[in-house]
Every structure is written in structure tokens, then in C-alpha cells.
Amino acid sequence: MALNDLREFIQAARALGDVKEIHGANWDLEIGALVEIFALRENHPLLLFDQIPGYPASYRVAGNLINHPRRSALAVGMDPNISRRELVRHWKDLMANPRPIPPRTVKDGPLLENVRDEKSLNMNVFPTPRWHELDGGRYIGTACCVITAEPDNSWVNLGIYRVQVHDENTLGLHVSPGHHARIIREKYWEQGKACPVAVTFGQDPALWLAAGISVPYGVSEYEYAGGLRQSPVDVIRGPITGLPIPASAEIAVEGEVPPPSEASRVEGPFGEWPGYYAHGAKAEPVIRVKALYFRSDPILAGAPPLKPPISTFGAPIGAAAIWNYLEKADVPDIRGVWCHVGGSAPGGGAPFTVVSLKQRYHGHAQQAGIAALGCRAGNYHGRFIIVVDEDIDPADLGEVIWAISTRCDPKSAISIVDGCWSTLLDPVLPPAQREAGELVSSRAILNACRPFAWKDRFPPVNALSPELRKKIEEKWKSVLR
């Protein structure tokens, strides 16, 4: 069943006993600290902050939205109790056959309960957190959707990019090189125009997930989200930009991004998903806000990047995308994929990717590693691609490390590839290379499979066979509860 907005999602999570309300936390570091502390717990709940000092009691902040697999499954109608291995398989199938449904334009929606024009708007009215101790300001855009369109309106793009509050009507917007919104806004700048933009700061989590999936250029995230939800997303046409804006969003703005030569502000630093402040503070483009819309008693959605292994998304979308690509590349018998350390970051990014397969021929494992490196989700800010046998659960880091330690010969089973796509957020980029804009780095492919030439003579594993385990678990299920 489709969840139409953030409030319905919170209510569905509440029905599962998966929401914790916290009253009185301060916007300055306290909310961010509590989000991080809870996120480190294995079964952490969604957090809903209310009665934030200095703001109306009904102005709330929601955190830890879908960074647990249980809630990422809930957002798209899957069983919240699904295992991680089955979760990535379901996401693979879902992303391989999205069955896009176009958005539905409506004339009104809850978003328009409060409307402020350029003369009356104030972006400081919301309890926007300063999430991390070294952040250079308050970031309203962490769980946001930035909406842009091609200059000829042939395609509307939604992406997740960080948005800082500068003042009452100015926001900072950082978009890394290679991302779709950056390409679109540069097209406007080449024509000497400001780029029209709309941003939502709290929306249906399925739409936010779609904005974080690395879909091909020219594919509508609105249509993709409709496929995930199995129903169209209701949108209103922004009177300032003409862009489609989710009608049930909590908070939204319309405005423009002028060329940097016309307007820019120092943005950052901001603690990012690789776990560092690698980008620092730099002059970045701004959003000149022309209109503000928000629901009564608004809920600001927050998803601050946290030090790995905490993920922004509990949904294994990066792993699912890589798995689908491997199948398109005709790599047979893939048994699972998982991305550790930021592998569910917005727009891809999988520094530690694990592919599990059943070896069928000489070079099969190397083929899988090279193919995984070739797709956007596996290449962008990657670092290591590990290929393991089918008996290894790729989501279990302990099993993966055991496979590397016992089946990977460092001299013969490690391949290095240079000149791969990186990002300003990459902490190992040398300063001179970063300043020159040379955003490339190397990748390592580790073959942690049994050597194919003599895999049948490889020493057997000292562990229960799946058959005996199943038999014992069935017989002793009363004891094992």
C-alpha cells in the first residue's frame, strides 16, 4: 500500500512500535548527537523531536527515517522483518522492473496550507539542526529532494544534495561533479541564465529513495517513485518555476540558482557520508528563495550523513543496482551483493562492495569484479571490490573478512585499476590533485574465492552444513527460541 507522505510513514512505523518521541532537545548539536547515538544501536527506532527550545511546540524534526532495513522495507511495502540477504534480492527485482508511473498534477495539497512570498518568507523559522560538531552552519537539506529540469523542460530530475541555511532567503547548495543537477544547472549558466529550482525538506520516503537511486540521465525519479509506490505521486506546479512539487511535502521552496560569477557564498564544512570533512569550506552556488510553502505543524526530515558503518539508507539500493548491472553484463550465477561503508549513500558510492557467486569457469570471479567496477554505483568513490564464493554471506562482514584472510593470496589475487571516478568528498585525494579538479583515484579488486583450478581440493570448511543446520534447528526449535 502506498504511503502518501512523511506523516503516513511515521504513523505506519508507530504501529510497529518503531518510533521514539523526544521532547526538549536543542537544535544546536543535541538533535544531531541523539540521532547518531541511537543510530549506533542495532534496532534503533525512528526519532521524532518536538518542543524544540526557541520554536513553536508543533515544529518538529524527524531523524533516523529509513537508515534501518526494517523501515526502508516499510517505505516500499515490503515485509519489515525481511533478512538483509532477501532484502537486497527484492530491491534488485524492484529496480530491474520499476514499471514507471507518471506523476499526477493536482491543483491543491497540504503543502499549500502556509504560503510565504519573497517579501514575507524567512528560512530561519524552522528548527534546522546543526548536526555535527565541526559543521559550518545549519543544514536544512539532508533528507531533501532538489528538483530541477532541463532548459527545454524535457526532463525533470530529483536528487539529494546538501542545503545550508545562509540567511532568511538564501540557501547554500553543494552538488558534486558528475551529478545530474550539476549538469542541468550548468546548461542554464551557459545560456547566461539562473537555474530554476525547487526543494522539499520532508516528503514520502519512497520519493526520497527514488531521488537517491542512481537512475540513468533522462529517467524521471517521479515516475520511478510511482513504480516503487505502485501509485502516482501527486504534484502541484510551482507558480514561480513551473516545476512539479510533491503536493503532500512538509516544507518546500522555489527559487533560482544564479551563475557563481553572479552570486556565491562560502558553504560548509559539513560531515559527509564517507565519514570525513574532506570537502572543507568553499564558495558554492546559492539558492535565492522566491517562495516558501509549508504544512501546518511541519515536520523537517533529517538524514545527516554519519560515520560508517551507519548508512543514510537502510535500503541496499547500491548493492541492488550493482547486482542488476552484473546480470546485464552476462555475469552468471551471482548469489548476492552487499555494499559496506557508505554503499547506500545518495547517488551511489560503494567504497567496500562484496559480490558473492558460484564459480563456473576460470576468470569468472575476475569478470564479476571488473563488471561491478564498471557500473555507476560500483565505480563512484569506490575503493575495494571483493568477490567471494556462494557460501559467504556478502552482508556479513565477519564472513567476508574470513574469506579474504583464508582464500585470497595477496600476490596473485589483487588487481589495481587507476583513474577511476572519485569525488571532492574522497579523503585520500592529495590536496594538489583536489585543487586541480582531478577527481580520480584507484580501485582494488580482491579475488577471495577458492582458486578455481583446484577448488574441489580446497580444504573443507569446519562448520555445520546447511542441511544439518536445518535438520537440527527444526528438531530443537523449542530450545533455540
- Alpha-helical runs (H) found in 191-298: 205-212, 221-229
R_g (Cα) of the chain, nearest Å: 23
**Which cell is 182 given?**
550539476
Q: Are 46 and 13 in contact, with CB atoms under 8 Å apart?
A: yes
pLDDT for the residue numbered 347: 52
What is the longest distance spanned by two Cα atoms in the chain? 77
Q: Are 341 and 308 in contact, with CB atoms under 8 Å apart?
A: yes
455 DSSP 8-state letter: G
Q: If we measure between CA atoms, which residue out of 293, 287, 285, 209 comes closest to residue 245?
A: 293
- Long-range residue pairs from 294-297, CB within 8 A, at least 24 positions apart, any chain: 294/111, 294/113, 294/114, 294/126, 294/250, 294/251, 294/252, 295/110, 295/111, 295/113, 295/114, 295/249, 295/250, 295/251, 296/58, 296/113, 296/114, 297/58, 297/59, 297/60
The Cα–Cα gap between 56 and 298 comes to 10
Q: If we measure between CA atoms, which residue out of 242, 264, 266 comes closest to residue 254?
A: 242
In sequence order, the 6+-apart residues with CB closer than 8 A to the CB of 132 are: 29, 32, 270, 271, 304
398: enclosing H helix or E strand: helix 397-407
Please give the domain boundaries of the chain with CATH numbers for all domains. 6-301 (2.30.110.10), 317-466 (3.40.1670.10)
pLDDT for the residue numbered 343: 47
User: Read out DSSP for 244-258?
Assistant: EEETT-SEEEEEEE-
The mean pLDDT values, 10 residues at a time, for the chain of 481 residues are 88 96 96 94 93 96 92 88 86 84 96 97 98 96 96 93 97 91 96 97 93 81 90 96 98 98 95 85 96 98 88 80 93 93 57 94 97 87 93 93 96 94 86 89 95 94 89 91 77
**Which cell is 117 given?**
512570498
**Which cell is 251 given?**
516544507
In sequence order, the 6+-apart residues with CB closer than 8 A to the CB of 328 are: none
The helix/strand/coil state of 128 is: coil
Looking at the DSSP assignment, which residues form a beta bridge with residue 244?
237
Half-sphere exposure of 385 (CA within 13 A, CB side): 31
Question: Distances in Å between the alpha carbon of 319 and those of 95, 418, 440?
Answer: 11, 22, 22
Q: Are 349 and 318 in contact, with CB atoms under 8 Å apart?
A: yes
The Cα–Cα gap between 449 and 403 comes to 7
| Residue positions counted in the chain | 481
The helix/strand/coil state of 35 is: helix
Q: Are 231 and 169 in contact, with CB atoms under 8 Å apart?
A: no
Question: Distances in Å between the alpha carbon of 412 and those of 106, 366, 400, 405, 418?
Answer: 60, 12, 18, 14, 18
Residue-wise burial string across 99-124, b where 16 or more C-beta atoms lie within 10 A, e elsewhere: eebebeeeeebbbeeeebeeeebebe
pLDDT for the residue numbered 176: 87
User: Read out DSSP for 430-441?
Assistant: -HHHHHTT--EE
In sequence order, the 6+-apart residues with CB closer than 8 A to the CB of 323 are: 88, 92, 334, 336, 337
In sequence order, the 6+-apart residues with CB closer than 8 A to the CB of 244 are: 103, 105, 147, 156, 222, 235, 236, 237, 238
In sequence order, the 6+-apart residues with CB closer than 8 A to the CB of 75 are: 3, 9, 66, 205, 206, 209, 315
In sequence order, the 6+-apart residues with CB closer than 8 A to the CB of 1 are: 77
- The 10 Å Cβ neighbour count of residue 38 is 18
Q: Are 298 and 126 in contact, with CB atoms under 8 Å apart?
A: yes
The Cα–Cα gap between 11 and 14 comes to 5
Q: Are 448 and 402 in contact, with CB atoms under 8 Å apart?
A: no
In sequence order, the 6+-apart residues with CB closer than 8 A to the CB of 294 are: 111, 113, 114, 126, 250, 251, 252
